[in-house]
Structure 1
Amino acid sequence: MSTKVKPAPLPPDTVIGGYRVIRRLSAGGFGVVYLAVDAEGQQVAIKEYLPSSLVARAPGELLPKVPPEKLSLYRLGLKSFFEEGRALAQISHASVVSVLNFFRENETVYMVMNYLEGATLQDYIITARDLKGQKVFRESTIRSLFDEVLRGMRIVHQHKMLHLDIKPANIFITDDNKAVMIDFGAAREVLSKEGNFIRPMYTPGFAAPEMYRRDASMGPWTDIYAIGACIYACMQGYPPNEAPQRQDKDRLALALAKLRGVYSDNLIEVVEWCMALDPLSRPQSVFALQKELAREGERRYTKLTVAEKMRLQIDNLVSDTKKTVQKATAPAAIGAKPK
């Protein structure tokens, strides 16, 4: 097989676990999400574990075909997907996608979730950005939105789970204006540890620096970095630079400085705090971050003076020139291993 064919989704009207499939909603590297109805005709979303890099399935078939050499990896992911379902089923919070049921069938696992109507934060950011206003979102909107998300995240962390893929596309805003975290990819985490997998297991811009290193320990601070990056995206309309780029040359403070006067100093500081490259310099718990985000009180808006703006530009030029000179004059290391 030279060209990789994606495994076919279940056909409409297939009945699994007493639910009838209506249509496919979405598909990612780890599975397919369907719109389905239960016995009472209630709409639900069903996620099927079907990793496109490990299985094949012909149209109209139910059973995924797993080549023998990929079986152990497939089972590992399956176990992890099952654990994710079991863990999420114990969490009942308005800001966390609710798992109503999960079951084994067709030699795979299905997770039944409440079907949400609305759009992702990513959709909202793109729409707002295209309207070209001075602000992508109002500060009050950002604070109340992330207050909701953090309430859910606090419960998730209390259950000893990490999300590890928080990004605007995984924050869903329902039609009745509730923010819900979706797509808890615990399966991703396990699969990424097992040798080099099909794609990077992190989303550039939202993944903390420790996610790029195999030996680093993840914790609440890893999700908190991603929250900071999401707030940044709500302010700028674009994701921040990737962590490895930032470690090379960090333009975060510069990008945020340009938002002074548009957003409060406090909100800008919160983003810098969450997105510190050193995990120990970030808020260590959701609670610490919640306290800071909820701080009402008078908000300072410090506009940059013309002199400050010029200084920022000069600083930028100087550091860019230094970089170029260093690169040009760096002696080639003899016998050094290529990175």
Structure 2
Amino acid sequence: MPFPPPNLSKFHNDVLQNTLLGQLCGTQKLFRDRYLILRLLGRGGFGVTFLARDITLPGKPFCVIKQLCPRVSEKKALDTARLRFKREAKILSALGSHSRIPMLLDYFVIEEDFYLIQEYIRGATLARLVRRQGCQSEVIVKRVLRETLELLDYVHNQGVIHRDVKPQNIILSQDRRLVLIDFGAVKEQLAQLGESSSVKGVTTHFVGTVGFAPPEQFSLRPVYASDLYALGVTCLYLLTGKAPLDFKTDPQTGKLHWQDRVSLSRRFSQILDKMLQPTLTERYQSAAEVLEALDAISPQSNLSQCMSNPQQSTESTETQETPKPESELKRTARSIRDWNSRHRSLPRSVSPKPKKHLRWSSS
């Protein structure tokens, strides 16, 4: 990068200097003769993500390029990695047919690095919205919960566990859709590969985020209900603005102490409590179960709080059923029109003239 921006952190400098995409960032050189690398979006334990433009397509649309590093060097291990990567990429490609999951546009391997090209979603993550707007109401959180559960229900029915549900991975797009990003399926396959190889440079192969992942995920045995726990913690963040590690934890059960941080309706509090059970058997087992529980707490009344003033809708209903009595203003206007009509119909010789003596004076 010939002219690095000022005030870059060491974190950003390392990425820009030590990755192929980082070295192309900010230059006019193209990646694979196609992608113009614009800026760094993020970095995780398995690679980096950049914003780019595909200059070969009309309009040069934005896209996201993820560079994944499996951290293996043996030829046999790399061959296995390629097979797993292609299999998992095909699963992500199938998921991308959903309107609220980024479309996978391409995937390929260059030497020892693996690349995913995905649709770029314009919008803001839930984490950013909370930083800008503050804590969200119960009504809003219920709506976020419902929409995300519908997405997870679809994902789980495809046999996929997201593995990293958190506010940073849910985007509110510009057209007001909630979009689920950054699936951990590929990363977990590559992590398992590193574990099975003779290369032992990685101390842990956990895929997920500490605080959002439940106990069974730390044991490398995630299930569909693991995503539900992470979504429950995400709801706590929306309600309180607190990261999961800011809550106290029961040392014996592992349960989060969160009820004293936010005031919720009793039934919604019960739903969240069951989503947040550290013991797998005590938690909801499917997104459909949680949706059914939400349906049972009268969603219509919740939605009405997000609508316009109910008093206005009542008045409009009454207007349709029975006409309102004529207002004083309308009666006055009608009287003036009637008087003017009669005045114009009188002969000019008998039209009334103003009486000069009718004036307020002392004489």
- TM-score, shorter chain, exceeding 0.5: yes
CA distance in 2, matches of 1:246, 1:106: 47
The 1:105–1:284 alpha-carbon spacing in structure 2 relative to 1, beyond 3 Å, is same
Runs of 4+ in structure 1 deviating by more than 6 angstroms, as ranges, are none
Instruction: Look up the SS of the partner of 2:292 in the other structure.
Output: helix
Instruction: Look up the SS of the partner of 1:24 in the other structure.
Output: strand
Q: 1:102 is aligned with what amino acid? A: Y
- The answer for unaligned runs of 5 or more in structure 1 is 55-65, 130-135, 300-339
The 1:227–1:277 alpha-carbon spacing in structure 2 relative to 1, beyond 3 Å, is same
Which residue of 1 is the match for residue 188 of structure 2?
189
CA distance in 2, matches of 1:29, 1:72: 23
Which residue of 1 is the match for residue 258 of structure 2?
255
Largest Rg, 1 or 2: 2
The 1:213–1:50 alpha-carbon spacing in structure 2 relative to 1, beyond 3 Å, is closer
Deviations 1:207-230 (A, max 9, x none): 01101224xx42111111111111
CA distance in 2, matches of 1:289, 1:74: 40
- The answer for unaligned runs of 5 or more in structure 2 is 1-13, 303-363
Which residue of 2 is the match for residue 333 of structure 1?
none
Corresponding position: 1:266 with 2:267: yes
Corresponding position: 1:150 with 2:149: yes
Deviations 1:95-135 (A, max 9, x none): 22221333445664432211111211111222334xxxxxx
Which residue of 1 is the match for residue 62 of structure 2?
44
Contact persistence 1:171–1:181 (CA under 8 A): yes
Corresponding position: 1:96 with 2:95: no
CA distance in 2, matches of 1:244, 1:139: 22
Which residue of 2 is the match for residue 228 of structure 1?
232
The 1:213–1:242 alpha-carbon spacing in structure 2 relative to 1, beyond 3 Å, is farther
Q: 1:255 is aligned with what amino acid? A: W
Which residue of 1 is the match for residue 212 of structure 2?
206
Greater fraction of residues in helix: 2
The 1:79–1:276 alpha-carbon spacing in structure 2 relative to 1, beyond 3 Å, is same
Contact persistence 1:208–1:277 (CA under 8 A): yes
Residue of 100, 120, 143 corresponding to 1:115: 120
Where do 1:289-300 residues align within 5 Å? 289-297=290-298
Residue of 24, 27, 40 corresponding to 1:25: 40
**For structure 1, which segment, 75-84 or 203-212, has the greater mean C-alpha deviation from structure 2 after superposition?**
75-84
Per the TM alignment, residue 44 of structure 1 is displaced from its structure 2 partner at its CA by 3.3
Which residue of 2 is the match for residue 324 of structure 1?
none
Which residue of 1 is the match for residue 86 of structure 2?
82
CA distance in 1, matches of 2:92, 2:248: 31
Per the TM alignment, residue 286 of structure 1 is displaced from its structure 2 partner at its CA by 0.9
Q: What is the TM-score of this pair, normalised by structure 1? A: 0.69
Contact persistence 2:36–2:53 (CA under 8 A): yes
Which residue of 1 is the match for residue 354 of structure 2?
none
Instruction: Look up the SS of the partner of 2:258 in the other structure.
Output: helix
Q: What is the TM-score of this pair, normalised by structure 2? A: 0.65
Instruction: Look up the SS of the partner of 1:86 in the other structure.
Output: helix
The 1:111–1:242 alpha-carbon spacing in structure 2 relative to 1, beyond 3 Å, is same
CA RMSD of aligned residues (A): 3.1
Per the TM alignment, residue 140 of structure 1 is displaced from its structure 2 partner at its CA by 1.8
Contact persistence 1:97–1:114 (CA under 8 A): yes
Q: 1:228 is aligned with what amino acid? A: G
The 1:244–1:174 alpha-carbon spacing in structure 2 relative to 1, beyond 3 Å, is same
Per the TM alignment, residue 8 of structure 1 is displaced from its structure 2 partner at its CA by 2.0
The 1:239–1:278 alpha-carbon spacing in structure 2 relative to 1, beyond 3 Å, is same
Count of residue pairs the alignment pairs up:
271
Deviations 1:151-200 (A, max 9, x none): 22111111111111111111111122211111112233234444373565
The 1:99–1:243 alpha-carbon spacing in structure 2 relative to 1, beyond 3 Å, is farther
Contact persistence 2:125–2:168 (CA under 8 A): yes
Per the TM alignment, residue 84 of structure 1 is displaced from its structure 2 partner at its CA by 3.0
CA distance in 2, matches of 1:105, 1:142: 42
Instruction: Look up the SS of the partner of 1:39 in the other structure.
Output: coil
CA distance in 2, matches of 1:121, 1:75: 38
CA distance in 2, matches of 1:242, 1:249: 17
Identity across matched positions, percent? 24
